[in-house]
Amino acid sequence: MEFGLLGEFTIGDTPAATVADRPQRRALLVYLLLRANHSVGYPELIDALWGQRPPRTARAQLHTMTSALRRIPVVGAALSTRDHGYQLDLPADHVDVARFRRLVIQARSTAAEGDTQAASQQLRAALDLWRGPALTGVHAPFAEHARVRLADERVAAFEQLAVVELALGRHQQLIGPLTELARTCPEREEIARSLMEALYRGGRSREALAVGARLRRLLSREYGLTPGPELQALEQQIRTSTPVGAPVSSRTPAQIPPAVRGFVGRDDELRALEKLRDNTHSGAIAIVAGPAGVGKTALVIQWAQTAREHFPDGQVYVRLRGHADTAATEPAAALRRMLSALGRPPAAAAPGTDPAEHLEALSAALRSATAQRRVLFVLDDAASAAQVLPLLPGVPGCVTVVTSRIRLRAVLVYTGAVPIDVEPLPETDALRLLGRAAGTHRVGQEPQAATELARLCAGLPLALRIAGARLIGRPRGAVGELARELSDADRRLPGLTLHGEQVGLTRAFEQSYRRLTAEQAGVFRDLGPIAELAGEAGAATEHIAERLARPPDRVRAALRSLAARHLVIECRPDRYTMHELLRLYARQQPAPAEPPVVSAARPGRPTG
């Protein structure tokens, strides 16, 4: 039984509306089909179906809808409940989106092996799966972005087909479809370039140059951009009547920073990234999230350095500064850096250009610059989904890995990204990291003290590395001395700071804390002593609200936001606790001072 998403939503040969009669049930099924064979958590599903304003009964409604879906025979056998959500397990060929993507991947490999005829057949088979606009009749917050993304994949597949067909000498058959596509997607540089080549090979040089001129005017007038080097080289070949040669290669960047010395553990996370590397159907994306100091960037860089050979067209690294002391990198600025790294520096926006249109043009330019290429993008320290979404090329062959202290659930919803949560190191790995930071001989000399010191660092690599740095060059017995110092709760965070070097846990936590709303910050501060009493089992939301004397709904909303920022831990549904070092930090934060009461008669002076 096949599920059809590339057009009207169908189950087999039947419109899905006749089987799943409620629109929201159909939307839930579609989202699970788009994420088939992956566990999808309740928060992600709630965001997908209700967006920013979910009802209080959202989770209960999910249970009701999935119960109804289980009564559809072909769905019930495949739908399973997970600890925090659901999973739909289906053979890949049972969903037309998966078949489309598999054929596009196969075509790329086939073309790389030199069999352009077979590649053409595979791409045509992929495009024949489309019956109209994707997800027709599906209405939910996630649906429009998913439609746009799938439509972009469809155009990218045709761009790939055009390259293959030109190699087979079928330029005459391409002119009509390419002309129509250039009309509907005038900013797509790959389409314009293929149309120019088809016209030139058909003896229509003047028309080919007119296509390039129209694109040049559009990019300059609307977006402040210039065509890339491949199109410019083709224009020169047409003007000089020279045979069309191989496209001019863009610059091949290699920007991944050096791997962190002494990296340990993270085997599961590294395997997840390796799996992503091999699954580049539509521009694979991973969101690597975790609290400050947990080693997200170190993990991604460690993997990226070993994966470089799989991305021969370049590796691009951009710091988004989402939690830095300076302002976060604007999406347009990040896109300009990414395009410059690929050899396509954009011109400045023309005066009066709408910023949103300019941003979309830069996103389109990135897609053109990465079409038919395998590029790795590492976007480090993202502040929000709004910052990240314009930066995702979303083209087959590319992989984007985003690190953030926030789970970026909207990115998961709109792109089907793979979430990879990074947690504190287990005790064995924490001790290994301490040994590599301070010297294995030092740890071996004081094993009990070293174990206690690793425990006090609570599995955070940043804390362990700072402790190791403090031990370097100190005499025998320093491990026990430092462990005794840090055992004092009031001295622990100051002790995990390299004074004068702007490195420390307090500073790292502060960068997250100061981005909270007043209500979130208040719940965070007040939760510290409650979390200490509750321990690992966590405190129930209702109990927390009662202790804080605040409305339960507002406390629940604040806790969910804090959990998404990795500042609290939802250890069980609706029960929360805190990481030990964050709890100490929360306990040390003073409540904001009450504003002075101002006299109406004498403005600006407090009353007595």
> Can you tell me the mean pLDDT for 29-49?
91
Q: Give 526 or 599, the one with higher predicted confidence.
A: 526
Query: What ranges do the domains of the chain cover?
Result: 267-421, 427-501, 515-588
Tell me the pLDDT tens digit for each residue of 160-189: 899 899 888 889 999 999 999 999 989 888
Dihedrals φ, ψ of 504, to 5°? 175, 160
- 566 torsion bin: left (phi>0), alpha (psi -120 to 50), beta (else): left
Q: Tell me the Cα Rg of the chain.
A: 28
| Confidence band for 603, pLDDT divided at 50, 70 and 90 | very low
Q: Is the pLDDT of residue 275 over 50?
A: yes
Q: Is the pLDDT of residue 279 over 90?
A: no
- Across 246-260, 367-381, 538-552, least confident range: 246-260
515-588 CATH: 1.10.10.10
Let me know if the fold of 267-421 is the same as that of 515-588.
no
Percentage of the chain with pLDDT > 90? 35
For residues 71 and 88, the answer to whether their CB atoms sit within 8 Å is no
- Across 117-131, 191-205, 407-421, 530-544, least confident range: 530-544
The token pair at 242 is 């020279």
Domain 267-421 listed as CATH 3.40.50.300? yes
- Terminal-residue alpha carbon distance, the chain: 79
Tell me the pLDDT tens digit for each residue of 79-111: 998 878 899 999 878 999 999 998 988 888 788
How many other C-beta atoms can be found within 10 angstroms of the C-beta atom of residue 429?
Answer: 18
Residues comprising the chain, all counted: 608
Q: Is the pLDDT of residue 598 over 60?
A: no
> Can you tell me the mean pLDDT for 349-355?
70
Q: What residues contact 132, with CB distance under 8 A and at least 6 apart?
A: 6, 7, 8
Q: Give 70 or 16, the one with higher predicted confidence.
A: 70
Q: Is the pLDDT of residue 225 over 80?
A: no
Q: What residues contact 408, with CB distance under 8 A and at least 6 apart?
A: 287, 289, 382, 384, 385, 388, 402, 417
What pLDDT, on a 0 to 100 scale, did the predictor assign at position 362? 87
What pLDDT, on a 0 to 100 scale, did the predictor assign at position 404? 95
